[in-house]
Amino acid sequence: MVANNAAAPAAVAPAAKAAPAARTAKSQKAAPAAKAGTAAETTNVKSTGGASASERAADQKIYDAKGGATDVGVTKDSIHLGSVNMHGMALGNVLTAPQVRGNLATASAINDRGGVLGRRLTVTDCDDGAGEVARAKACIKKLAGQDKVFSLITGLDWATASIHDDLAQYHLPYVGAWAYSQTEWQDPFMFPTHMSMVNEAFSGAHWVANVIHPKTYGLVCLTSPEMQIACDNVQKILDATGAKMVKRADVSISETSMSAQVVAFRAANPDHIIHYVINPSTMAKFMVEAAQQGYYPPLGISGNHLAAEVLGSIFGKWPTGRYWTNTTYKLWGPEFIATMYKYARGNNGTNHHIVQAGYAAINIFARAAKAIGPNLTRERVMAQLSNGTVWAADAAMDQRFSWAPAERLTPNQIKDGTLTNQNLGQGREFMYRYDSTNTVSNPDGSPNGFTPDGPGGPSYEGSGQFVIHTAR
């Protein structure tokens, strides 16, 4: 349980629009330490810092010669991180702001445990509006050139598919990319802590085939290339079962109303609707307008990216018991919630699964940097993260990642998710049913309103399936 008198987090200034101000994670009392993972997850750690006494001595000599400033953004007592976030997105106040606070909270907790071999983490955030590519590129230029950050960390940003050249230009790692684009899993500078949308579509479609068994289905698809591929993958899996797609609605990220789409689905009358739109406001509009029209498909709706504490206040009662969302991490976990309660009190009721992804990423970054030793460089961090180690989030969140070359499959190599390791984060997720409008986490980190999918669901027959995979 978390004490009600937990210390308040460090204040966070509003995001600057033209020239975002630095946000620095400040030290407070220690938070619970993240668990390191099982022995099986850590036995294959290979340190680029060197295991021999002579190698350790050489690293220390380099550190001493440079006064601890072993690379851009690193001093003897600090490591400067940066993030790019779209504060101007729809619902940004309940989605983007918690992401920034969650990153700061995680850094503060690490600092209060001694930092990274005595170096404290600082974080600077940059606002790119509504995820505009030009502004995202300007943010990276500012963070790399002016703010001198060592690495990027998790941010909410539609532009992540368009910054690969920028990362290469500045030789800038991005730890915890949110994998909106499959290309984030191919970029050697990116280390996603989230399943790609292409793979999520495979896992969600297999769940629908295994659990819902619809004879007919509909799709709601964002018009972005990645979401179009995702919906194509859903169709590939479901059509093979004999199910028939009776309606596909392709929608833009700026839809002002979903009323016409609701009317169209009423006319097509699918058993089940699947969405891959990633943008929460789009499906919120669909749910509100479906309730106004008294419409809902008989076997419910499922889709990705809506594991958020605010979901109940957005969706209301109409979808309860008949909506499902797949998510990369188990919700929410005592260590994650304890960290947010202590260092980001403003996140109470607004945490979501990408905040979890940032929390996992920053903790993994800290572990990798410690393994490297005092001679910390970007090259060494990227090599350490890619060396075959399986990096685990804390035990309650129950997710693991590897960025070894074998995991960095190209889109052409991925066929029905079968070429992905089914025990890691690119091949394994979790399915939750939305059962109550109270979706705010309990103080002990257990979820409210989100029920692990299993037997006895009210709008389908079958046993349910909590752990889902891209290939089965």
Domain ranges, ordered by start, for the chain: 22-196+334-407, 197-330+417-469
Q: How much is the pLDDT for 11? A: 35
The structure's pTM equals: 0.89
pLDDT for 26? 37
What is the architecture of the domain spanning 197-330+417-469? 3-Layer(aba) Sandwich (3.40)
Q: Say yes or no: domain 22-196+334-407 is CATH 3.40.50.300.
A: no
What was the pLDDT predicted at 169? 98
Position 20 scores a pLDDT of: 37
Supply the pLDDT for residue 292.
96
Residue 253 CB coordination number (10 Å): 18
Token pair listed for 371: 């393994």
The pLDDT value given to residue 456: 56
Provide the mean pLDDT of the chain. 88
Model pLDDT, residue 191:
98
Beta bridge partners of 219: 248, 274
The backbone torsions φ and ψ at residue 401, rounded to the nearest 5 degrees and listed phi first, read -135, 150
Instruction: Say how many Å lie between the first and final Cα of the chain, rounded.
Output: 37
Fold match, 22-196+334-407 / 197-330+417-469: yes
Q: Burial code of 356-367, b = ≥16 C-beta within 10 A, e = fewer?
A: bbbbbbbbbbbb
Q: What is the pLDDT of residues 17-65, one digit of tens each?
A: 333 333 344 333 333 333 333 323 333 334 444 558 888 899 999 999 9
Residue 397, pLDDT score = 98
Show the low-confidence residues of the chain (pLDDT under 70).
Answer: 1-51, 411, 455-463
Q: What is the pLDDT of residue 415?
A: 79
